[in-house]
Amino acid sequence: MAEKVVVAMSGGVDSSVAALLLQQEGYDVVGVTMKLYSLDHVDLPANYQGCCTVDDVEDARAVCRRLGIPHYVLNVQREFQTFVIDYFVAEYQKGRTPHPCIACNDKIKFNFLMTRATALNAEYVATGHYAIRECSPQGWVLKKAVDQGKDQSYVLFGMGQQELAHTLIPVGAYSKDDIRQMALDAGFANADKPDSQDICFIPLGDYRSFLKEQIATKGGDIVDTAGTVLGQHQGIEFFTVGQRRRLGISGGEPLYVLRLDPETNRVVVGPEDALYSDQMWVSRVNYTLGPSPVEPVDVGVKIRYKSEEAAARLYPREDGALVRFEQPQRAVTPGQAAVFYQGEVLLGGGIIEADIPKDAVL
């Protein structure tokens, strides 16, 4: 009897081809589209390239119909509100810059959906992420996708051995062009559908307007590193480390956001050279193989989704990890994920913190 797999189908071409590939491999495939967030109240432009619309559900359903597999829609709006949107807003209120896709993968796709898959007697959950899952002598490992320009391993650093053992990620072994060609050959109507560009619950990309709708913001001072007041702001939620524009300060040398202080409600600004850091502290570290390295190790670190890897040395600790860069890095941003690689293999990752614990300084 064929093993059953639940494929998370967004209506996009990647998850559609994931279902196709798994069916070709002999799995008993079930398509599931998760309703994460309602866009009924949003006036979307005709060329909208997001997700979570009625059309996206219909695209997923049409693919399932063509493949002759079941398709279900799961309403997970309550869970998504709690674990993704509320988390996103709370992080900004703390002067941090979160990555909501990581929270969604961790809490919704590889937790909630995995639970639902078990209820459907499915052995696996599958997604359309561009990454590669392989078995090694040490256990399951997560590797970068063949198409380096589309690699999404960064947002999957929270996976452990339990999740990897029950997850299939078939599209990572192919280029995006290959995936689109497979969709065309299969007769999928969404073969040429553009990739999603925005955060699904902020479809027009204006996160500041979104935050204004969610919370009551509090104004405060914009200060330099000496504490001199240079201007006023409408709320620290509207700033991020490294930001130069929209500071509301005129004249003088260019200034950049260096730090956000939620306790004093201050935005600290300074010259660009003050943005560079030679080390950082990372909390909530997860290692995909389970145990942390015993000794310090050399790694390549991505401090944001689209950044290049930076050579560094990782010093594991029980409560996190200290990372020391070979070359200082610009705008190391609290709340963002730091993900560690050794060659093509994802070693682990965690969340960047604003301060390094005193007992962790080398």
| Of 332, 85, 92, 68, nearest in space to 235 by CA | 92
Does 135 participate in catalysis according to the annotation? no
Question: What does the alpha-carbon distance between residue 329 and residue 341 come to, in Å, rounded to a whole number?
Answer: 17
Q: What are phi and psi of 107, to 5 degrees?
A: -95, -35
Provide the 3-class DSSP secondary structure of residue 316: strand
CA 230 vs CA 40, 48, 94, 221, 272: distances in Å: 42, 39, 22, 7, 17
Which DSSP symbol is given to 171?
Answer: G
Between the two ends of the chain, the Cα-to-Cα distance in Å is 56
Compute the distance between CA of residue 52 and CA of residue 41 in angstroms, rounded to an integer.
13
Residue 104 appears among annotated catalytic residues: yes
Q: Which of 51, 52, 101, 200 is catalytic?
A: 200
Selecting among 51, 52, 64, 104, the annotated active-site residue is 104
Tokens found for residue 19: 């279902």
Both tokens of 262, joined, read: 């939620």
Only one residue has tokens 């599931």, namely 32
Query: Taking Cα atoms as reference points, which of 81, 69, 87, 86 lies closest to residue 33?
Result: 69
* Alpha carbon distances (Å) from 294 to 231, 317, 338: 48, 9, 19
Residues designated as active site? 104, 200
